[in-house]
Amino acid sequence: MTLPPESLGSLREILAHYCGILLDDSRLTHLQTAVERRALALKRLPDQYLADLLTNRDRTELQFLAEPFLNHETIFFRNRPHMEALRKTLLPTLHATLPPGVPIKIWSAGCATGEEPYSIAITALETLGEPLPRPVEILATDLSATAIEKARAGVYRGRTLTNLTPLQRLRFFTPVGNALTIHERVRQLVTFMQHNLLDPFPPAVRGTHILFCQNVTIYFSLDTCRTLMARFYDILADGGTLCLGFSETLWNIFDRLRPVSVDGAFLYRKDPPRQRMVALSVPKPSRPTLHPTRPTRRRPTSPPASSDPLFTDETVVVEGRRMIESGQIEAALELFAHAPLAGRYAPAVLALTAQAHANRGELDLALAEARRALELNPLVTEAHILLGLIYERQQQFTLAIRHLERARYLNSDSPLVAFHLAECYRQTDRVADAIREYRNAEHLLHSLPPDHLIEGVAVYWLAESCRRWIRRFEGER
């Protein structure tokens, strides 16, 4: 049974209002599958279940439907720059400046299966020493009840342990079969709680000194992100720090948190009241009186945004693109992790980050990053190309064509865009359009060496594929 698209669209909006996650058109089929599975579990007809849900908006049922779309992909010490800033500066500074006995309050919002808050706890023990010289209170919250249950269990194996040093494994974990269990003295620093970030915050988070919220807001709409940031701002202590994922940015989204660079990490800080008042009260320079007999001198212009150390530089775009094209995906992601995601080049870096994550198979994250890049700048060609290729792979050809046509408009000289646009036209029986784009792709490929690789495929193979489809279509006419 195919559920009405308009009803699924309405449910998508209700889910976004419930938990912030905004599903694009390509995920509507997955949403239908989630509805059908839940209806089957309740022994109900899917259309009746959906109709009741649209009317009643039962939060328990919305939680069940949201669960499959929550991203729990994480590892210990995932964001190294932030952890280095925590170890070198954030924790030592708080310990040195807070009154004796006052706890350091840290919130891991969107903690998934617990690797992040446990990494924070390990860093606190390594930095401040054992026993801790003052309390460290780490609250870890996540929308997913399943993820919170796994986090409380604290049993880990496989890839998630990759970044741990041998000493950390020995010191903070207990071997159990082929897995490692988090040690009790690490566990006791962390309090886990299921929580929806769009609901009122727990009272315990007021006065938070350090707030980690990584790879969460990238899945939200810009309006939801702005609202959440304002609420984060209100509960942060004066001087408190917000740590977002390196592909998340507040540039042109929320400006009350000041971007800062700490030990190579790009963070956001809530200035104390005095600093905020000083910033607001700086007088504007008065307009100079021009001397009637002297020529007017043009005032020096401000340096371009890229020269600001807290703004992304064009070299990051150039070097990151080179790394991705040569297959150095991890090196590219390491470069992007240390780049401040702000300024005119930020959307391009975000699109390249999405491409790197797509190459690693992290398609949900790549889609969210590419969409955010276009929200910040709808003219980022790489983002349109990436979305087109992902949607083509998912056989969402209408969506793929939409983005590939925009990419062709922005860059008419790309044989890759022309070829994949032709493929999508062919899949949707738009024969005349497919022939035109195959011819266009063949023409653009003609200027390249036959053994040159485009996305890992030789030019001569792509050109021959174009000619083959043109002959086939023209022979059928």
Residues 118 and 192 in one domain: yes
Domain with 240, as residue range(s), is 80-270
pLDDT tens for the chain, residues 1 to 477: 678 889 999 999 999 999 999 898 888 999 999 999 999 999 999 999 999 999 999 999 999 999 998 888 899 999 999 999 999 999 999 999 999 999 999 999 999 999 999 999 999 999 999 999 999 999 999 999 999 999 999 999 999 999 999 999 999 999 999 999 999 999 999 999 999 999 999 999 999 999 999 999 999 999 999 999 999 999 999 999 999 999 999 999 999 999 999 998 999 999 987 665 444 444 444 443 333 333 334 443 333 444 567 888 899 999 999 999 889 999 999 999 988 899 999 999 999 999 999 999 999 999 999 999 999 999 999 999 999 999 999 999 999 999 999 999 999 999 999 999 999 999 999 999 999 999 999 999 998 998 888 877 899 999 999 999 999 998 866
Number of domains in the chain: 2
281 falls within a domain: no
Q: Which CATH number is 219's domain given?
A: 3.40.50.150
Note the pLDDT of residue 285.
42
| Domain stops at, among 270, 298, 319 | 270
Q: Indicate the DSSP class of residue 21.
A: B
Residues 24 and 84 in one domain: no
Q: Does residue 177 come out as left (phi exceeding 0), alpha (psi in the -120 to 50 range) or beta?
A: left
CB-CB contact of 341 with 249 (8 Å): yes
What global pTM score does this model have?
0.88
| Domain stops at, among 33, 48, 69 | 69
Residues 133 and 224 in one domain: yes
CA–CA distance, 307 with 314 (Å, rounded to integer): 10
- Supply 469's token pair: 């489809």
Peptide bond into 131 cis (omega under 30): yes
259 falls within a domain: yes
Residues 253 and 218 in one domain: yes
| Domain stops at, among 270, 285, 314 | 270
Residues 36 and 130 in one domain: no
What count of Cα atoms within 13 Å lies in the side-chain half-sphere of residue 360? Answer: 19
105 falls within a domain: yes
